[in-house]
Amino acid sequence: MDSMIHTDGLTKKYGDFAALDHLDLDVQKGEILGYLGPNGAGKTTTIRLLLGLIKPTGGQAHIFGLDSQKDKIKIHKRLAYVPGEAALWPNLTGEETFYLLGKIHGQMDVGYLKELTKRFNFEPKKKVRTYSKGNRQKINLIAALSTRAELLIMDEPTSGLDPIMEQAFKECALEAKANGQTIFLSSHVLEEVEALCDRLAILRSGKLVEFGTLEEMRHLSAVTVTATFAGHPPKLNHLKDVKNIHTTGHQVTCQVQGDIAPLLAILSAAKPQTLLSREPSLEELFLSLYGEEKINRAKG
């Protein structure tokens, strides 16, 4: 597959503070990459570096094989960007804004624009200053999607949208993927990322801490096991891969990371009435990573 975005040691420092620290990332053609991280992790900094709005203090980024700083215009011809906060001219109408943004971009599928306007239930005759936050965000989304650009870079694209519109966005994103477009999706909505993304990159304090598919990441995290017994549950404390053991009456819940066989052997021997195992959700993965950071901060 072709690499659409490739960063190599991409770094942005403000004085001693590293907003982004040696980011190595590769986004393949046709995939949706979820870009996650807590507030201030460096997600927007990454996007602004990729778009050439700010300059790296180290490393480099290539989009479509072109240098993101030197070949900005060539790159921008082929991508569309959805910002997290819609800074649009308050006295233009929605329709005028679409026209302006389309003209500046250089291409727009007018038929698709009309279709998107209907799908997002958007009224384009109003002036931008009268729109709600969600409606202003729809302008950014519709303008970007209607370009049919090869690469869509989105920074919190569903910010301010209601659940119905979030669903409309998901459908559009999947259609774009089906059309061979690539999406770089920075989001806080884990359910949205889990539903859409092929791979995930998780950023923490400016550093990439996890990168891979959700399945690969799940293997890194603990599996939750819950078992119910007729009598007292067996003791599990001596098992080295088992942690967070909670016993309530006849039920025991624990997490296992590593070899699950010793745990299953003990539970089976105790003849469980029910036995459930569950892989971690993205939210649990995210919280476990973020939780470590909070613990480290507290220690620091």
Partner 1 sequence: MIAVATANHFKRFRWPKLVVSRFTATRSNRSAAIWGYVFAASSASSIIGYVSLYKTPAAREQLVHTLGSNSGINALLGMPHRIDTVGGFTAWRTLGIAMIIGSIWGLLLSTKTFRGEEESGRWEMFLTGQTTARKGAANALIGLLAALGVLFIITSAATFAAGQTHHLHFTLSESCFFGLALAATAAEFMAVGALTSQLAPIRRRASMYAALVFGVSFLARAASDASSSLGWLINLSPLGWIEKLHPLRDSSPIWLVPIAIFCLVFSLAAVYLAGRRDLGASLLADKDTAKARRRLLGSPLGLAFRLEKNTVIGWTLGAAFVGLAYGYIAKSATQIIKDSAGAGKVVSKIAGEAQLAGAKTFLGILFLLATILIMAEATSLVGSMRNEESQGYLDNFLVRQTSRLRWLSGRLGVIYIALTFSVIAAAVFGWLGEASQHTGVSFHEMFTAGLNILPAEIFIAGIGILTFGFKPRLTSSVMYGAIAWSFLLEMVGSAINLNHYILDTSIIHHIALAPAVSPNWTTGKIYIAAGVIMMLLGSARFNSRDLQNE
Q: Residue numbers of the site for partner 1 (CB under 8 A)?
A: 48, 51-55, 72-73, 76-77, 79, 81, 83, 85, 87-93, 95-96, 99-101, 103-106, 124-127, 129-130
Contacts of 106 (CB under 8 A, 6+ apart): 77
Report how far residue 154's alpha carbon sits from residue 143's, in angstroms, rounded to the nearest whole number: 12
Residue 143 CB, nearest approach to partner 1 (Å): 9
Contacts of 242 (CB under 8 A, 6+ apart): 236, 254, 255, 256, 263
Residue 215 CB, nearest approach to partner 1 (Å): 31
Alpha helices in 148-213, H assignment, sequence order:
163-178, 190-196
Kindly report the backbone phi and psi dihedral angles of residue 147, in degrees, each rounded to the nearest multiple of 5, phi listed first. -75, -20
The number of angstroms, rounded, from the C-alpha of 228 to the middle of its chain's C-alpha atoms is 36
Q: Which residue type sits at 132?
A: S
Residue 274 CB, nearest approach to partner 1 (Å): 28
Smaller CB separation from partner 1, 108 or 289: 108
Smaller CB separation from partner 1, 89 or 265: 89
DSSP classification of residue 280: P
Smaller CB separation from partner 1, 151 or 267: 151
Smaller CB separation from partner 1, 151 or 254: 151
Q: Are 178 and 266 in contact (CB under 8 A)?
A: no
Smaller CB separation from partner 1, 127 or 170: 127
Residue 193 CB, nearest approach to partner 1 (Å): 22
Residue 249 CB, nearest approach to partner 1 (Å): 23
Work out the number of other CB atoms within 10 angstroms of the CB of residue 147: 24
What six digits make up the tokens of 219?
A: 């293997």
